[in-house]
Amino acid sequence: MTTNEVPVRRILSPAGQGKVGIAPGDTSQPDLVKLSKRASQKVHGGSSSASRNALQRALSVSIYALATLIGLTAFIYPFFTLSSQASVSASQQMAHGSDSPLVLALLIGLCLAALAVEAQGQALNAKLIALLGILVAINSALRLAEAVVRGPGGFSPVFMLIILCGYVFGSRFGFLMGILTLLVSGIITGGVGPWLPYQMFTAGWMGMSAGWLGQVVAMLSRMLPKRLTSQTSASRASRLELGPLLVYGVWWGFLYGAVMNLWFWPFQAGDPAQSWQAGLTFVQGVQRYAAFYLATSFVWDAFAAVGNIAMLVLFGLPTLKVLRRFKDRFLFTVDSHELALEGT
C-alpha cells in the first residue's frame, strides 16, 4: 500500500483539543470534514428557508396590493360610468347597492388569504394572528359601546387602536386590523350595508399608513447621534414619539370622512355647486367636492380629529407599552447561518 492509500484517524493534541492529523490504523473520516459537511448542509437549509420566506413575503404583498387596487377601483369607477345627472338622480337611493356585496366578498376572501399566508411566514406568526383576533374583539366591543352611548359628531374610540397597532406591528398588521375591526363591529352593531366595504377599506388604509409612519419615526431615531439618544430617557422618548401620532390622528380624523364621502358623492343630487356631473374637469370636480365637504362634513370630522387626540393623549403611551411588550415576545427572527454555526 502506498502512502496516498494510508487511511486516516483523529489524533488528539496533548491539550485534547481534537486536532486532526493523518495516521495509519483508522478508517474513520476526520471529524473536521464531518462537521464541515454538517454546517454546510445547515447553511444551505437556511438559504432554502430564506428563499421560501421571500416567496411568502412577495405573495403577501401581492395580496395587499390587490386588495388596495380593488378598493381604489370601487371608490372611483362611478366617476367614469355615470353618464348624466339624470342617471345620478335615478340611482341616488341605491349607491353601490348592486356591486357592494361583490366588493365585500372579494375583500373578505383576500383577508382570509392574507391570514393564511402570514401564518406561514415570519412577519406575522400564528401568535400575532391570535393577538390580532383579540385586538379586533376589543375594538369591536368599543364600537358596540359607541353604538349604545353616542359620542359627539364623528368621534369614534376605535381609531386609536387601529393607528397604534399599525404603528407598532407594521403596515400589513394595521391593514388587517382596520378591515377586520370594521367588519366584525359592523356585524355586531347591525351596521351592515352597501357602505361597509368602503368603511373597511378606509380603516385598513388608516392602519397601513400608520405602519409607514412607524418606519419613518424609527428611521429618524436611528439617524440621531448616539450621544443624544443615550441621554434621552425611555419615558421622554415615548412622549416625544407621541407628537407624530397626534398629528397623524388629526390628519386621519379628517381624511377618513373625506374618503368615505366618495362612496356616495357621485350619486348625490342636490346643489349643483356641490354635486358631481359628468364632463367636469378634475379641477372642477375637486372644487365641487371641497364645497360639499366643507358644508356637510368638516365640523363632523373635526370631532373625530379632536377625539383621536384625546384618546391618544389619555391612552396612547400605556397602549404603546403593552403592544410593544407583545411584539417583543411574539415577533423575533432566527439567523439560519448563526444557528448552523452554533450547532457545530
Instruction: Flag whether 182 is in a domain.
Output: yes
User: Residue 306 above 70 pLDDT?
Assistant: yes
Please tell me the predicted confidence (pLDDT) of residue 227.
54
Q: Which amino acid is at 299?
A: V
User: Residue 257 above 90 pLDDT?
Assistant: yes
Instruction: Flag whether 19 is in a domain.
Output: no
Please tell me the predicted confidence (pLDDT) of residue 126.
81
Tens of pLDDT, residue by residue over 38-52, are: 444 444 455 666 777
Please tell me the predicted confidence (pLDDT) of residue 22.
41
CB burial of residue 118 (10 Å; 0-12, 13-18, 19+):
buried
DSSP states along 82-143: --SHHHHHHTGGGTTTTTHHHHHHHHHHHHHHHHHHHHTSSSS-HHHHHHHHHHHHHHHHHH
Using pLDDT thresholds of 50, 70 and 90, give the confidence band for residue 92: very low
Instruction: Flag whether 317 is in a domain.
Output: yes
Please tell me the predicted confidence (pLDDT) of residue 313.
95
Tens of pLDDT, residue by residue over 108-118, are: 999 999 998 88
Instruction: Flag whether 191 is in a domain.
Output: yes
Using pLDDT thresholds of 50, 70 and 90, give the confidence band for residue 237: low
Please tell me the predicted confidence (pLDDT) of residue 70.
95
Please tell me the predicted confidence (pLDDT) of residue 48.
67
Please tell me the predicted confidence (pLDDT) of residue 8.
39
Instruction: Flag whether 38 is in a domain.
Output: no
Q: Yes or no: say if 309 and 254 are a contact pair by the CB < 8 Å rule.
A: no
Max Cα distance, the chain (Å): 105
State which residues form the domain around 157.
Answer: 56-84+95-332
Report the number of distinct structural domains present in the chain: 1
Please tell me the predicted confidence (pLDDT) of residue 305.
97
* Residue 324 to residue 314: CA distance in whole angstroms: 18
Instruction: Flag whether 250 is in a domain.
Output: yes
HEC assignment per residue over 233-288: CHHHHHHHHHHHHHHHHHHHHHHHHHHHHCCCHHHCCCCHHHCCCCCCCHHHHHHH
Question: Mapping DSSP to helix (H, G, I), strand (E, B) and coil, where does residue 74 land?
Answer: helix
Please tell me the predicted confidence (pLDDT) of residue 57.
82
Using pLDDT thresholds of 50, 70 and 90, give the confidence band for residue 95: low
* Residue 123 to residue 179: CA distance in whole angstroms: 18
Instruction: Flag whether 11 is in a domain.
Output: no
For 310-317, what is the mean pLDDT?
95
Please tell me the predicted confidence (pLDDT) of residue 256.
97
* Residue 276 to residue 314: CA distance in whole angstroms: 41
* Residue 115 to residue 183: CA distance in whole angstroms: 15
* Residue 288 to residue 272: CA distance in whole angstroms: 8
Chain-centroid distance, C-alpha 101 = 24
Tens of pLDDT, residue by residue over 199-234, are: 999 999 999 999 999 999 988 888 776 655 555 555
For 251-273, what is the mean pLDDT?
92
In this structure, of 13-22, 91-100, 121-130, 157-166, the range with the lowest mean pLDDT score is 13-22
Question: Mapping DSSP to helix (H, G, I), strand (E, B) and coil, where does residue 26 land?
Answer: coil
Using pLDDT thresholds of 50, 70 and 90, give the confidence band for residue 288: very high
Please tell me the predicted confidence (pLDDT) of residue 20.
41
Instruction: Flag whether 249 is in a domain.
Output: yes
Please tell me the predicted confidence (pLDDT) of residue 119.
81
For 308, the grid coordinates are 383621536
